[in-house]
């Protein structure tokens, strides 16, 4: 019986899939039923019935608890409706002759953002995003008002991209705050923000921003196309988007820059790049990006160009150290001993005396141990994290040396490599270095310097053939662009930095002097 009854009920009421496609009805009762079906088992939905005006008109306010600012809802929507209908027209209390809907929309309720919607689909999207909806008996349109408000983290300093000088603001998880931070820095009508909604379930807001007249139009169209092709149930972080839109989805080289700094986004937008952000993620994607991401940091541009250039050279050498030092050491002491000065070789030989492992195994074990410590350091509670990782490293290193399991120079090499790997300004870019380091280690154990060289050539070939949205990955080193190369290895002072790095199809490369006026 029960089964049949429920089946009957189901026949009577439309299924949620059908309702969502339907338009809002003029009957409040029908609408309420539809809402009950749509938001069945949604305990956080609030539907508030009320009557107002004279003759009495029934209304319904729907919102999700926790997503709306209740004060604003009460003061700007409910109170004016309940109390303020009188103010509409004191002479004539009878509203029957007027279009109540238009009156309410235009004269009574007062949120800054307001919009009439016709379908359930639109209405649901809005209330899920934190807006509140108002349905009035007898009218087919719903009014959604912008009452979004939810607890946010606030604007804090970026944790992963720390700079000494320069702005300390970072993005947070609310997309609108993030776009506002960029807009505040780019007060130009040419700064465009295009939005998409991605994710079948999550319906996440995704935006793509760029500066018109600087960013290549073809690239903008291509990226739009790629974003529109994404069909996925949910988008929770920018990386979801990244994996769909990059040129080479399997490549480990980061073809897209991640940043949580609005100033870095603005700097990159001014170079004609494009930024993608996702609601709910503080990481912005900047594309296209090139190898320069490995050695540049935004605060290069906030300090004097000479120290900034030296620091950039330091980062460049740290990049090579973190990539090659363990493998060079292993190759040196197991293949090319003649290249080590005798005194140094004697010291190394003395500390290797009695170590039971070949140098490759020794290096591999220590490197693996270091990576584990590093990974553990991220997960450990903030208060104990650094202390535990440092103490752990010391104890493991020292005890291992005392026990004769590893040699002291190897600990020094691994530690130096570890320090160098933290110099990289981009965590995402340093991932490949961490992986390749083991590859180089294996290559050096097999063939010494020759092996390192072979792998280096293979990696270089890979990097040269890689493109990021059409831009060669090693640009401007390969293909060589002499006018831009000086802004990669060193930080060019602004007074000579007249041109933007060239991007295919870029409209305006001049950024100073007699260039076109970008900011019109």
Partner 1 sequence: MKLLRIIGLIIIVLAGSGCSAARELNDAAIVAGIGMELEDQQLKVSLQLAQPALSGQSSSSSGPPFKVVSETGRSFNESLKKIGLSFPREPLLSQANLIILGEKLSKTDLALVADASLRNPSIRKNSVVAVARAASPEDIFNTEVLMESLSASAIPKMLKNQESQIGIYKSVTYDEFLNKLSTPGIEAVAPQVTLFDSLNGKTVKLEGTAVFKGRRMVGSLNSRESRGFRFITPGRMAGGIINIPAPFDDPGMVAMELTRSQTIVKPELQDGKIVMKIEYVGEGNYYEQTSSADILSLENIPVLETLTEQAIKADIKACISKSQKLGSDIFGWGNMVNSWDPDLWKQAENDWDKIFPGINAEITVKFDIRRSYLTDRSMVLK
Q: With beta carbons less than 8 A apart as the criterion, state whether 439 and 455 touch.
A: yes
Contact 274, 217 (CB under 8 A): no
Residue 508 as a binder of partner 1 (CB under 8 A): the answer is no
> For residues 81 and 333, which CB has a smaller minimum distance to partner 1 in the complex?
333
Give strand pairing partners of 63.
Answer: 46
Q: Which is nearer to partner 1, 27 or 342 (CB)?
A: 342
Return the SS3 of 139: coil
342 interacts with partner 1 by CB under 8 A? yes
**Beta strands 284-287; 274-278: pairing state:** antiparallel
- Select from 57-65, 118-126, 262-270, 355-363 the region that touches partner 1 (CB under 8 A): 355-363
Closer residue to partner 1 in complex, CB, 335/440: 335
Does residue 406 belong to the site contacting partner 1 (CB under 8 A)? no
d(CA 151, CA 232): 27
CB of 363 to partner 1, least distance (A): 12
Shortest distance in whole angstroms from residue 474 CB to partner 1 = 25
Spatial contact of 370 and 319, defined as CB atoms under 8 Å apart: no
Q: b/e for 337-363, b at 16 or more Cβ within 10 A?
A: eeebeeeeeeebeebbeebeeebbebb
Question: What is the edge-to-edge ordering of all strands in the sheet holding 284-287?
Answer: 191-198, 204-211, 274-278, 284-287, 257-259
Residue 62's DSSP bridge partners are 47, 133
Paired strand residues for 61? 48, 134
Q: Per CB under 8 A, does 350 bind partner 1?
A: yes
322 binding partner 1? (CB under 8 A)? no
Q: Is 369 in the site for partner 1 (CB under 8 A)?
A: no
User: In the window 428-487, what residues touch partner 1 (CB under 8 A)?
Assistant: 443, 445-448, 451
> Please, what is the minimum distance in Å from the beta carbon of residue 448 to partner 1?
7
Contacts with partner 1 in 174-213 (CB under 8 A)?
A: none
Sorted by sequence, the CB contacts under 8 Å of residue 155 that are 6+ apart come out as 169, 170, 172, 177, 181
Q: How far is the CB of 370 from partner 1 (least distance, A)?
A: 22
Q: Contact between 346 and partner 1 (CB under 8 A)?
A: yes
Residues 294, 424: Cα–Cα separation, whole Å: 6
Q: Could you say which of 305, 335, 440, 469 contacts partner 1 (CB under 8 A)?
A: 335
Residue with smaller CB distance to partner 1, 154 or 356: 356
- Which residue's CB is nearer to partner 1, number 296 or number 359? 359
Residue among 229 and 338 whose Cβ is closer to partner 1: 338
Rounded CA separation 194/228 (Å): 12
Q: Quick one: which of 254, 297, 359, 417 contacts partner 1 (CB under 8 A)?
A: 359
Quick check: 363 binds partner 1 (CB under 8 A)?
A: no
Closer Cβ to partner 1, 345 or 415, answer by number: 345
- Shortest reach from residue 356's CB to partner 1, in Å: 9
295 binds partner 1 (CB under 8 A): no
Q: Which two tokens stand for residue 519?
A: 């900011």
CA distance 41 to 37: 9
The least distance separating partner 1 from the CB of residue 1, rounded to whole angstroms, comes to 59
Which residues would be at the binding site for partner 1 (CB under 8 A)?
333-335, 337-338, 342, 345-355, 358-359, 408, 443, 445-448, 451
């Amino acid at each position: 019986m029960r089964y049949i009854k429920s089946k009957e009920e189901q026949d009577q009421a439309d299924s949620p899939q059908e309702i969502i496609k339907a338009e809002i009805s003029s009957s409040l009762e029908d609408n309420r039923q539809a809402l009950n079906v749509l938001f069945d088992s949604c305990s956080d939905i609030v539907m508030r019935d009320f009557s107002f005006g004279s003759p009495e008109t029934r209304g319904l306010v729907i919102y999700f608890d926790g997503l709306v600012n209740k004060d604003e809802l009460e003061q700007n929507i409910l109170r004016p409706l309940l109390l303020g209908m009188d103010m509409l027209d004191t002479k004539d209390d009878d509203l029957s002759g007027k279009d109540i809907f238009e009156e309410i929309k235009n004269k009574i309720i007062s949120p800054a953002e307001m919009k009439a919607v016709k379908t359930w689909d639109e209405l649901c999207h809005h209330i899920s995003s934190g807006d509140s909806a108002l349905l009035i008996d007898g009218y087919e349109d719903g009014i959604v008002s912008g009452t979004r408000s939810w607890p946010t983290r606030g604007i804090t300093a970026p944790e992963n991209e720390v700079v000494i000088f320069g702005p300390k603001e970072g993005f947070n998880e609310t997309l609108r705050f993030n776009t506002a931070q960029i807009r505040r820095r780019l007060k130009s009508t040419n700064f465009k923000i295009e939005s998409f909604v991605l994710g079948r379930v999550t319906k996440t807001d995704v935006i793509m921003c760029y500066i018109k007249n600087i960013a290549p139009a073809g690239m903008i169209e291509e990226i739009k196309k790629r974003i529109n092709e994404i069909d996925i149930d949910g988008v929770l972080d920018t990386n979801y988007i990244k994996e769909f839109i990059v040129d080479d989805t399997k490549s480990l080289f980061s073809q897209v820059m991640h940043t949580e700094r609005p100033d870095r986004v603005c700097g990159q937008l001014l170079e004609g790049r494009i930024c993608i952000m996702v609601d709910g993620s503080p990481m912005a994607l900047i594309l296209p990006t090139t190898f320069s991401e490995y050695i540049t940091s935004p605060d290069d541009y906030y300090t004097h160009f000479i120290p900034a250039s030296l620091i950039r050279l330091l980062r460049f050498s740290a990049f090579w150290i973190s990539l090659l030092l363990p493998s060079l050491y292993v190759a040196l002491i197991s293949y090319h001993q003649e290249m080590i000065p005798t005194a140094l070789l004697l010291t190394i030989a003395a500390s290797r005396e009695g170590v039971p492992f070949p140098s490759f195994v020794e290096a591999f074990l220590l490197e693996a141990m270091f990576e584990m410590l590093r990974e553990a350091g991220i997960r450990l509670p903030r208060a104990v994290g650094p202390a535990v990782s440092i103490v752990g490293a010391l104890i493991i290193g020292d005890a291992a040396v005392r026990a004769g399991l590893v040699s002291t120079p190897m600990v020094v090499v691994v530690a130096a490599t570890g320090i160098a790997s933290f110099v990289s300004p981009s965590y995402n870019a340093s991932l490949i270095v961490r992986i390749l380091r083991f590859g180089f280690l294996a290559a050096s154990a097999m063939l010494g310097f020759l092996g390192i060289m072979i792998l280096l050539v293979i990696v270089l070939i890979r990097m040269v053939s890689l493109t990021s949205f059409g831009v060669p990955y090693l640009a401007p080193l390969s293909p060589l662009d002499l006018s831009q190369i000086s802004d990669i290895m060193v930080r060019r002072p602004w007074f000579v930095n007249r041109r933007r790095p060239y991007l295919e199809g870029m409209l305006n490369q001049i950024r100073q002097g007699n260039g076109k006026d970008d900011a019109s």
